[in-house]
A and B are shown apart, each in its own frame.
Chain A
Amino acid sequence: MRKRWTIPAAMIAASLMTGLFPAPAHADHEDTPTSRQLLEACDNGTDACVFHPDGRPEYFAGPADQVGRAVYNCTGREQRFEVSWSDTTTETNSVGVSMGVEYGYAEVFRATFKATYGHEWSSSHTESQTTYVFTGPYEVGWVERAPRMEQVSGTYELRFPDRYYGHYIWYVPFEATGPAPGGEGAIAQQTRPMTQTERNECP
């Protein structure tokens, strides 16, 4: 292994004083911290906490769920209904931790995400609209929305000044899913024939 100078000599003394080289972990340890424990130590006891994204975000449609109320056409003619709805999509992650601003790991993630992908990570998005639903005679209509999502995965690298559960460095795999920017998602109206029970409830 060859060594080469990387910085002027005048800067070396200061670098030598930092003592960054960690001793190897020598012992096996029965106790293992959880991913949650490790993430909570990020920038809260670590020398460094870095999130390494492992690629570009993946964009996909989330599950389609009904939004707003169902409407019932109890007439013998086609009817148009207005359905007002509001739907909130929130983030999730593989560790099940809160991504609140008070947590160091969340801030690291958000900063890395913005620097890498050029837009802010969105923890929550609420979409509100009024959708027209066309129903045939004795049909039930409703609106479904499939939110547009983005998913990012990577690995947290946590470097500790002293051994933490026996080791100086820990890796924590992490995957986060949240609402994609600018995405009202896919919105569709659905209809089906009324059941006999539903028809019986028509006025």
Chain B
Amino acid sequence: MKKALPYAAVGGAALLLSTALTSGTAAAEEEEHCIANMDTGEQTCFATLDAAISAAEEETEPSGPTTLSAQAQNDVIQGTFFTERGYGGDSLTIWGEAPCVKDGWVDYEFNLTGDFSGWANRISSAQPWADCWIWLYPEPDLGGSRDGPYKENTTYVGDFMNNRTVSIGFS
């Protein structure tokens, strides 16, 4: 059984989440489960369960709640996105510096362009984390007619934005 983690240990936690993403589903070999840093755009993917578990263990074992590094103290998981309904298929978990603030603004935006273009027009289900509401947009930089907010785990984003998301807002 793995340790419970505070959000300050998100580096390990995100990897842990990715591990869990594969562990319960007998993921097909071609499935891919990635984590992405909101601020740096760094993406790490796991093609197999064994690889994900190994990576997660490497990341989480040395840290844990008692040995947190200062720069990681604000990071949280903000959202997970799936390429199939019901949280199936590939997944992308985005983590960033802090929970969302309910102040009427989009606090964070994430473009599925460049290194993340492989995720564009593929999202079918989504899970908001860290008190974030999720908005899905059909164009980069929060462009086009959006749908949302998705305030809770959402097994299907709906016909309007299914397989059309190119950028994501977190509010």
Contacts and interface: CB of A to CB of B under 8 A. Distances in A.
Interface of B: 1-8, 13, 16-17, 20-27, 64-68, 73-74, 76-77, 80, 86-88, 91, 98-109, 127, 129-131, 133, 135, 141-142, 149, 152-153, 155, 169, 171
B87 A116 contact: yes
A15 B86 contact: no
Contacts of A52: 17, 80, 127, 129, 153
A161 B49 CA distance: 35
A73 interface: no
28 contacts: A3-B107, A4-B109, A5-B104, A6-B105, A6-B135, A6-B171, A11-B104, A12-B104, A15-B103, A15-B104, A18-B102, A20-B100, A20-B101, A20-B102, A22-B99, A24-B74, A25-B6, A48-B131, A57-B24, A154-B20, A157-B129, A165-B65, A166-B65, A168-B99, A171-B13, A171-B17, A171-B77, A173-B16
Nearest to A36: B4
Q: Chain B at the A interface: mostly helix, strand, loop or mixed?
A: loop
Nearest to B39: A1
A33 B4 contact: yes
Q: Chain A at the B interface: mostly helix, strand, loop or mixed?
A: mixed
Contacts of B106: 2-6
Contacts of B87: 53-56, 116
Contacts of A9: 104
A151 interface: yes
A115 interface: yes
A175 B2 CA distance: 11
A82 interface: no
Size category of the A interface is: 35 or more
A148 interface: no
A152 interface: yes
Contacts of A34: 4
A81 interface: no
B119 to A, nearest CB: 17
A32 interface: yes
A30 B66 CA distance: 6
Contact of B169 (A4, A20, A50, A175): A4
Contacts, number: 175
A170 interface: yes
Interface of A: 1-7, 9, 11-12, 15-16, 18, 20-22, 24-26, 28-30, 32-35, 38, 48, 50, 52-58, 94-95, 112, 115-117, 151-155, 157, 159, 165-173, 175
B20 A170 contact: no
Contact of A166 (B6, B77, B105): B6
Given A18-B102, A28-B68, A52-B17, 4 more contacts: A32-B4, A53-B153, A169-B99, A173-B16
Contacts of B17: 52, 54, 155, 171
B6 A167 contact: yes
A93 to B, nearest CB: 10
A29 B64 CA distance: 10
A175 B99 contact: no
Nearest to B17: A155
Contact of B131 (A11, A159, A170, A171): A159
A154 B120 CA distance: 25
Nearest to B79: A52
A157 B153 CA distance: 12
A24 B8 contact: yes
B155 A115 contact: yes
